[in-house]
Structure 1
Amino acid sequence: MVCNIIDKIRLLFRKDKESYLCFYRMLGFYPRNIEIYQQALLHRSSSIKEKGRLLNNERLEFLGDAILDAIVADIVYKHFEGKREGFLTNTRSKIVQRETLNRVAVEIGLNKLIKYATKQSSHNSYMCGNAFEALIGAIYLDRGYRVCKKFMEERIIDRYLNLEKISRKEVNFKSKLIEWSQKNKFEIEFNLLDQSVDADQNPTFETQITVENIPAGSGKGYSKKESQQEAARETLSKIKSDPQFIDAIFAAKAEREQAQEAKTEADGMPQQEETVREELLESKKTAEKYDDVERIISEAEEAAFLEESGKASKENKKEKV
Structure 2
Amino acid sequence: MVPSDVISLIKLLFVKDKELYVFIHRITGFYPRRIDLYQLAFVHRSKPVQLPDGHWANNERLEFLGDAVLDLVVADYLYNRYPTKHEGFLTSTRAKIVQRESLNRVGRSLHIDTHVRASSHSSSHNSYINGNAVEALVGAIYLDRGYHACKQFIEQRIIRDHFDINALVNTEQNYKSRLIEWTQKFRVTIEFELVDTYNDRDNNAVFKTAVMLGGIYAADAIGYSKKESHQGASRKAFERIKTDALFREQVLSTTAPAADDTPPQL
Identity of aligned residues (%): 50
Conserved 8 A contact 2:95-2:174: no
Residue of structure 2 equivalent to 1:18: 19
Pairing 1:113–2:112 present: no
Q: What amino acid is the match of 2:10?
A: I
Highest relative contact order (Cα 8 Å, sep 6+), 1 or 2? Answer: 2
Conserved 8 A contact 2:49-2:57: yes
Q: Deviation at 1:3? A: 4.1
Q: Deviation at 1:226? A: 5.1
2:56 partner SS? strand
Q: How does 1:1-321 map to 2 (within 5 A)?
A: 3-50=4-51, 51-121=53-123, 124=126, 126-172=128-174, 229=235
Q: Deviation at 1:156? A: 1.6
Relative distance call for 1:89 and 1:174 in structure 2 (3 A) is closer
Relative distance call for 1:172 and 1:15 in structure 2 (3 A) is closer
Distance in 2, Cα, partners of 1:158 & 1:175: 23
Q: Deviation at 1:157? A: 1.4
Distance in 2, Cα, partners of 1:53 & 1:5: 33
Distance in 2, Cα, partners of 1:92 & 1:173: 13
Q: What amino acid is the match of 1:30?
A: Y
Q: Deviation at 1:174? A: 8.6
Relative distance call for 1:124 and 1:226 in structure 2 (3 A) is farther
1:100 partner SS? helix
Give CA-to-partner distance per residue, 1:86-136, whole Å, 9 cap, x none: 111111111111111111111111112110011113653521111111110
Conserved 8 A contact 2:92-2:177: no
Q: What amino acid is the match of 2:164?
A: N
Distance in 2, Cα, partners of 1:58 & 1:176: 28
1:29 partner SS? coil
Q: What amino acid is the match of 1:153?
A: E
Distance in 2, Cα, partners of 1:71 & 1:9: 32
Distance in 1, Cα, partners of 2:157 & 2:134: 13
| Structure 1: segments with no counterpart, 5+ residues | 184-220, 237-248, 254-321
Q: Deviation at 1:15? A: 4.0
Distance in 2, Cα, partners of 1:176 & 1:64: 25
Relative distance call for 1:16 and 1:124 in structure 2 (3 A) is closer
Distance in 1, Cα, partners of 2:8 & 2:173: 41
1:116 partner SS? coil
1:121 partner SS? helix
Q: Deviation at 1:73? A: 0.7
1:63 partner SS? helix
Q: Deviation at 1:65? A: 0.8
Relative distance call for 1:13 and 1:144 in structure 2 (3 A) is same
Distance in 1, Cα, partners of 2:29 & 2:155: 12
Distance in 2, Cα, partners of 1:171 & 1:133: 20
Q: Deviation at 1:148? A: 0.5
Q: What amino acid is the match of 1:53?
A: H
Relative distance call for 1:132 and 1:176 in structure 2 (3 A) is closer
Distance in 2, Cα, partners of 1:93 & 1:227: 16
Q: What is the count of residue pairs matched by the alignment?
A: 195
Larger radius of gyration: 1
Conserved 8 A contact 1:122-1:128: no
More helix by share: 1
Q: Deviation at 1:40? A: 0.4
TM-score (norm. length: structure 1): 0.53
Residue of structure 2 equivalent to 1:190: none
TM-score (norm. length: structure 2): 0.63
